[in-house]
Amino acid sequence: MSLLRIRCHLLEEPLSCQWIWIGDDGLPLTGEGQIADLPKNASSVQLIIPAAQVLLTRARLPDAARRQTGSVLAFAVEEEMLREPDANQVSWIGSAGDEGILAAVDKKGLTECLDALQAAAIPVDEIYCETLLLPWTPGEWSFAWDGQEGFVRTGEFEGGATDCGDDASPPLSLHLMLEDAERHGARPASIVLYTVEPEGAMTFEGSAGGTMKNPAAAPDIEAWQRVLSIPVYIAGTWDWRRAPQSSISLLQERKRWPFFSGLFSRLRPAVWIGAAALVIHSLAVAADWALLANEERTLHQQMETRFRTIFPAAVAVVDPALQMRRKLAEARHAAGVPDTADFLPMIKTVGPELNELAPGSLRAVSYDSGRITLELAAEEGLANRIAAQLRENDLSVDINPAPADAGGGVIVLVVRTP
């Protein structure tokens, strides 16, 4: 998976940046210039903001304000930023005790940078602070030094840029940070120093085909230790281009797991195919529903026509099937022939299915207009079996609650002709 890592100064006009491209083969290619000239089509794109352009600070926050960005958190750093809250993009990135750690950057500069990258068809997946890319071990501070100035990482989520120093004198801000940490009982046991190449240093060809820069010379460690009153160790060189990927993203809402980086673009053909299939399926369902509705109307019209042909004196035809059954019953009764909805034919069908009942279980039988009501003193399972057997004989059966005066254990079956 290819990676494009970009280090961009937000406040420069026009925007320029340094970058490194690591291809699928693992070989790096580095460069610097305008955003429009950056390599395209990387699987993952990371934006690195210089340490001097990110303020990492503590603030006491209500639980509801955490994991938010925008004006709510911007007010928490208003005094430290000395500018209008709307001018800052502030994010909650972690906790230290009962305090939250906030990261604040210039909103206008960040927006312009992201817009420029978007216009160049380079969507950013992650946004990191250079400070939090430094290696860090609990109990120690990590300090990056370019020969004149640098930045320090004091905790998992904390750190900041320092002012200038020289070979014999460490930055004054670093000395003041140590004094403040001592007052709060958080003074480190030592400082691990990394040398980095200063911006604009002379470049030379790297072994992988890219360009590298001359790292800064290490300062006088003994002089620094005397001024700072703390052990200082040189840990070698450090380069943001090759720093391990951090899990601390400045903008939480833009954070994505590497697995999902570029996932939508890879799945776009499948999404279009799925959408097309869904549309076709919806059209087919709608067409089938319309066809069935048309068939229902046709059948109803045919039944109504047949009914009016047989009974031309009918005034209104609402339900031709029901009205036909009623006319048929009237014709049978007029001819002295029993109808299937009469009591005797129905009880003849119902009676044999009640053989499983114990003697005395049939509490009451009533008949009214093609409906027989049975009150059974039986278990629910037996009543359900009787209902199923009656339905097999083309009868409609409902199981109703027993009346209040019937006592417990009574089940009511209502049997009708279809």
What confidence tens digit (pLDDT) does each residue in 144-157 have?
Answer: 998 888 999 999 99
131 near 56, Cβ under 8 Å?
yes
Q: What per-residue confidence (pLDDT) applies to 277?
A: 93
Are 205 and 282 found together in one domain?
Answer: no
Are 26 and 121 found together in one domain?
Answer: yes
Are 198 and 327 found together in one domain?
Answer: no
Are 65 and 109 found together in one domain?
Answer: yes
Are 213 and 85 found together in one domain?
Answer: no
What is the DSSP pairing of strand 126-129 with strand 44-49?
A: parallel
395 within a domain of the structure (yes/no): yes
79 within a domain of the structure (yes/no): yes
355 within a domain of the structure (yes/no): yes
Q: What per-residue confidence (pLDDT) applies to 265?
A: 63
CATH of the domain at 61: 3.30.420.380
What confidence tens digit (pLDDT) does each residue in 113-123 have?
Answer: 999 998 889 98
Are 143 and 92 found together in one domain?
Answer: no
What confidence tens digit (pLDDT) does each residue in 177-214 have?
Answer: 999 999 989 999 999 999 997 765 444 444 334 444 56
Q: How confident is the model at residue 405 (pLDDT cuts 50, 70, 90)?
A: low
Are 79 and 151 found together in one domain?
Answer: no
Between 398 and 84, the higher pLDDT residue? 398
Q: What per-residue confidence (pLDDT) applies to 404?
A: 63
Cα separation, 88 vs 110, whole angstroms: 9
Q: Select, from the ranges 82-86, 164-168, 247-251, the one with the highest average predicted confidence (pLDDT).
A: 164-168
CATH of the domain at 178: 3.30.420
**336 has a pLDDT exceeding 60:** yes
Cα separation, 8 vs 395, whole angstroms: 81
Are 254 and 113 found together in one domain?
Answer: yes
Take residue 269 and report the two structure tokens written for it: 């053909």
320 near 298, Cβ under 8 Å?
no
Q: Please give the DSSP secondary-structure letter assigned to residue 167.
A: S
Count of alpha carbons within 13 Å of 292, Cβ hemisphere only?
A: 6
268 within a domain of the structure (yes/no): no
pTM: 0.56
CATH of the domain at 374: 3.30.1360.100
Determine the residue type at 229.
S
Residue 2: which domain range? Answer: 1-132+240-261
Cα separation, 114 vs 105, whole angstroms: 13
Q: What per-residue confidence (pLDDT) applies to 208?
A: 39
Residue 208 has a CB neighbour count (10 Å cut-off) of 14
Residues 6 or more apart whose CB falls under 8 angstroms from that of 257 comprise none
DSSP for 378-404 reads: S-HHHHHHHHHHHHHTT-EEEEEPPPG
Cα separation, 326 vs 320, whole angstroms: 10
- Of 307, 334, 361, at which residue does a domain stop? 334
Are 37 and 98 found together in one domain?
Answer: yes
Q: Taking CA 335 as the corner, what is the angle to CA 334 and CA 341, rounded to the nearest 5 degrees? A: 75
Q: What per-residue confidence (pLDDT) applies to 295?
A: 93
Q: What per-residue confidence (pLDDT) applies to 204?
A: 41
31 within a domain of the structure (yes/no): yes
267 within a domain of the structure (yes/no): no
**257 has a pLDDT exceeding 60:** no
**84 has a pLDDT exceeding 80:** no
70 near 107, Cβ under 8 Å?
no
Q: Is the peptide bond preceding residue 62 cis, with omega within 30 degrees of 0? A: no
CA distances from 217 to 93, 200, 251, 263, 342 (A): 33, 15, 34, 43, 111
Where does residue 219 fall: left (phi above 0), alpha (psi -120 to 50 degrees), or beta otherwise? beta
Q: What per-residue confidence (pLDDT) applies to 214?
A: 63
**132 has a pLDDT exceeding 90:** yes
Determine the residue type at 384.
N
Number of domains within the chain: 4
Q: Please give the DSSP secondary-structure letter assigned to residue 201.
A: P
Residue of 49, 38, 35 whose CA lies nearest to 107: 49
Are 127 and 41 found together in one domain?
Answer: yes
Q: What per-residue confidence (pLDDT) applies to 351?
A: 87
What confidence tens digit (pLDDT) does each residue in 154-163 have?
Answer: 999 999 999 9
Cα separation, 100 vs 58, whole angstroms: 6
272 within a domain of the structure (yes/no): no
Are 110 and 152 found together in one domain?
Answer: no
CA distances from 400 to 229, 384, 411, 414 (A): 91, 12, 7, 7
266 within a domain of the structure (yes/no): no
- Of 312, 334, 356, at which residue does a domain stop? 334
Are 65 and 179 found together in one domain?
Answer: no
Residue of 152, 190, 194 whose CA lies nearest to 171: 152
